[in-house]
Amino acid sequence: MKKVLSLVLIAAFLLSNAGAVSANGGNQQKFNVSDKIATATETFVSSEIIVKFAGDTEPFRVVKVQTGKEKEKASEYKNKSNVLYAEPNYYAYALSNDPYFTYQWDLQGQSVGGIQAEEAWNISTGIDTDTGEGVIVAVIDTGIAYENYDSYVVAPDLAGAIFVQGYDFVNNYSHANDDNSHGTHVAGTIAQNTNNAVGTAGVAYNVKLMPIKVLDAEGSGTYAAIADGIYYAADHGAKVINMSLGGSVGSVILEDALAYAYNRGVTIVAAAGNNGSNGVSYPAAYDKYVIAVGATRVDKTLASYSNYGSSLDVVAPGGDTSVDQNKDGYPDGILQNTFNPNTLDTGDFGYWFFQGTSMASPHVAGIAALIIAAGVANTPAGVQSVLQNTALDLGIEGKDTTYGYGLVDAAAALNSAAVTPTPSLTPTATPTPTMTPEPTLSPTSTPIPDPTMTPVPTATPTPTTTPEPTATPAPTATPAPTATPVPTATPTPIPAVSVQTSISLRLTDRQVRNQTYTSASALVSVLRDGAPVSGATVTGHWEGAATDTDTGTTLLNGTVTLKSNEVKVGRKSVTFTFVIDQITINGTVCTLTGETRDTITR
């Protein structure tokens, strides 16, 4: 039996449960939608037409006619002199014409526990209003069934989705195909083909998906692979990252990667975990960089398997396959198109109900993409602020440890602007324990502001100088006495801040068929009086093989990782040099002592 929720200290575990009755990975029952789903074929109501009579005080009348004669009778009425118009009483349907949409309670209204996706689609479907292109969402998971390649087949309901180049960090290969079924299901929630009269719908169906495989067929992966996936997404244009995965402990390599992506403007969303315990998993536990997502049911209560705690930010539909609260004849899971998770036959596709915080997280990632596309917010802090401020408050009023800020609301998010409180002059990092399986973290006291929404104060206009009159020139016979200069006050010097720096370089190779691509990473350490400095802004540049500029903020351990652009290399050696240009602490430029330049050769 395949391990769905294997908990490994060093490896990640999938945060979902496909149709299982418990969160510990019991036998998986296929809850495949049957052919009993009815597809509406009628275009107008039988046996009646709409008629507007001249001079009638009513806006229109419904007139009963013989069945099958609706169009004929409408035509007869239109020819009458006292009739302004007559027509059949046409049907209207939901915005999605996907036949299984009716079973996607998670995308519907809040009364059934959904995120109100249909109303949001009136504003955005994932196309950036500035670029005209779909926002790129990286799915860091088991891969996606996105192409017909070798033994892999594209998922039928993803055949029309747009994909950008991804990477397989499990097998070190450029084809990030899914061999587990989990990543494909997650990707479907974000961007399943919609309004194609096939299957199901997705939250942000016009975004571009970036498949990044970091988990194997068993659903396990290393932190190193996950970190590589995060770096890759940040370096290749992703605006949103979804990670429906987690581990039980913190890690510097993971936190460095998250900081790198966050500092490059990537909104990061991750599942809270499926242990039903207090304390979310990693990477969701990193409050400073990640939006942590718990799972709810149709009745808007927290699913029994969902983790919770002070680090939980919001909740989204994750499902409960043990019940049928909406009485639609199927278990209340999250329905999407993927291949059989029991046999792992990558060609055996169906529509499967899964449950888990893995299913909740992509709802939030999809809404984040819509927020960015619509221009409501364009920074990670801004997107998080919008999500939190527009969520449906559940449980105790305000943020709580069970629901965070509440159930995300796509429609409300797109109809809002980020709230920008007065920024603090000295940001304080929330300490994150790195080796505690169930961390107790300080809750975020206020929504993280969107710095781009802070209004620029209107400058006080400079008074217009009254021009000197030209008719009467100033007399020149008696020169004006030279004024005694006023002594300039001696400013109080700002104490110099001296920091000690060191640089450690490493190379990362990526093989694509017969071609090698290489990038360099600089781990910069900043100390002050021998103690690590967190929150310092490090700016530097690369020389040699790469020539880009990088900026980042040090973590609690006083380090920040800055990564060069990737370059194609041949047989000749290449050299990467990183130079620290400046370090500032709370706006004060520091005096640098120690290592400010380092070189590595491949």
State how far the alpha carbon of 207 is from the alpha carbons of 66, 141, 191, 239, in Å: 48, 17, 7, 10
Whole-angstrom distance, CA of residue 160 vs CA of residue 205: 10
Pair type for strands 162-163 and 208-213: parallel
* Block residue for tokens 């418990």: 22
Residue 255, phi then psi, degrees to nearest 5:
-65, -40
**Burial, 131: exposed, middle or buried (Cβ in 10 Å; 0-12, 13-18, 19+)?**
exposed
Query: Ramachandran region of residue 550, left (φ > 0), alpha (ψ -120 to 50) or beta?
Result: beta
Q: Count helices and strands (H / E) in the chain.
A: 8, 27
Are the C-beta atoms of residues 18 and 28 closer than 8 Å to each other?
A: yes
Q: Angle between the 380-390 and 357-374 helix axes, to the nearest 10 degrees?
A: 110
Residues carrying an active site annotation? 141, 182, 358
SS3 label, residue 374: helix
Whole-angstrom distance, CA of residue 290 vs CA of residue 279: 14
Neighbours of 22 (CB within 10 A): 11
95-106: burial string, b at 16+ Cβ within 10 Å, e else: bbebbbbbbbbb
SS3 label, residue 90: strand
